[in-house]
Structure 1
Amino acid sequence: MEITFLGTGVAIPQKNRVQSGMLVRLEEKPLLIDCGSGVLSHFPEAGISHTEVDTVLLSHLHLDHVADLHPLIKANWLRGSTSMKIYGPEGTEEWFLKVLEAYEYLQEEVDVDVIELVPGKEFTPEGFDCEISCAAATHSVTALAYRVTGEDGEFVYSGDTEPSREIMDLAAEADLLIHECSFPPSMKVTNHTTPNSLAGILKEYNNGIGSICLTHFYPEMRGHEREAVNYLQGYFEEEVILAEDLMKLEL
């Protein structure tokens, strides 16, 4: 299982970080998780053909996680690939169709199946040899965290969230927890995570997580990345990784 971080940033433009998205290869078949602005433009640099992607998993519907989804569908259509399955939280279908209405020329050209999920749902996407389960995230809109279990390992992606027991329970015994860390330790925030708020809940749990990878950095985190790692290593014995755009991890 190979994970490629296509975007590790947020809605505010930053050098070397586009908005959120990552691609997971499971037995060579790619699963795209979130698709914010700039993610599609990183496909060539990552060595990925966009027409390979026919399955997308959305954590929530904020623009920095979905803005490149319709452009991806159009790009695929222009190259003769018209089918797409989109998994996401409640409200995903209504949002997707409302945006598609603005592009009448696409409506009859593409075959998009939207599957809405609720916390606790377990499923296997069509064509994949893996199991995916989800839990509620703690954010300003309905949001889901996902656990992906494949032949080579398993990881959890938090999406945007405050640290939560639901996500930590989802991550029990996982090889990797990919968790947002939007702001540095000194900031007090809601709906997002800081190193100290994540450390607080890590201290309560001893659930065998193999390693943690931090992502979804606001500009305020610039210059505080190593501080974040050092802070968390005071509470977590395993490796703490800082995600970068186009970085790859193997499980």
Structure 2
Amino acid sequence: MRSFLAKLSTIEENNLTTRELIIVDYIKSNSKQIVEENIKIDELARRAKTGFSAIYNLLKKMNIDGYRDFMICLANDVEHAELNIAKNDENVANGYINLIKQNYTLIKKANLVKTINLIDSSPRIVICYWEGVLRGPAMDLSNFFYNHGVNVTLLDSDWDSINNRIKNTQTNDLYIFLTKYGTSTHLSKVIEAIRKQKGKSIFISGKVPSKEVEENASLVHTLIVDGVEINDDNVLISKSLPFHYFNDLLIYHYLNSEKK
């Protein structure tokens, strides 16, 4: 599902410029009016008191393909905000469904294929969960590959364990990192160290990666971990849900690649 607010949730606020923050505030406060009037980019720039370039830069950071795609995303947000969903268990179900739909749109299938290629070409795999809440999906993925004869190790974010492993990295060893927010400078340094050791790394995160991670990771997958479709404080969706969904997609494509 295309959603401006969902994609915005993948960007850390401190990665936006002052002008981009002004644009975001204006859009969030006037989204319904923008959609109903179908305002053009020049009018949006005028109302937000900024320039075209700042708008385009913001959309690029959010992986939105141009102004037309932005309007479609925003229209979806407005439509869902106006839905009068019954206040019962349906809210939780819709929270799950909407979060999965958002990730279905965001996850690039071509990158899943590239992930499988990296796995197939790696002599050893290390799966590392950076936050305790992601131990479940990391363990599930580790168990799956172990059962399929892959040389795989499961780690948490313990400094000594990771650095000892990196010191013994062989060429093309693959590290798969699962992290909700991926803002750790420690993690950035770990990924850089892996590249220097001629290892590979896959960064799976609920936020757009930092410049350092982007430069050193072999592959990046950005997930949406915060649902934005239902305005109900009592609906709390597990942060691990998108990672389980990603696992299931990866496993599905992996098994189908084995059949070919």
Is this a same-fold pair by TM over 0.5? no
Q: TM-score, normalised by structure 1?
A: 0.30
* More strand by percentage: 1
Q: Which has the higher contact order (CA 8 A, sep 6+)?
A: 2
- Higher Cα Rg: structure 1 or 2? 2
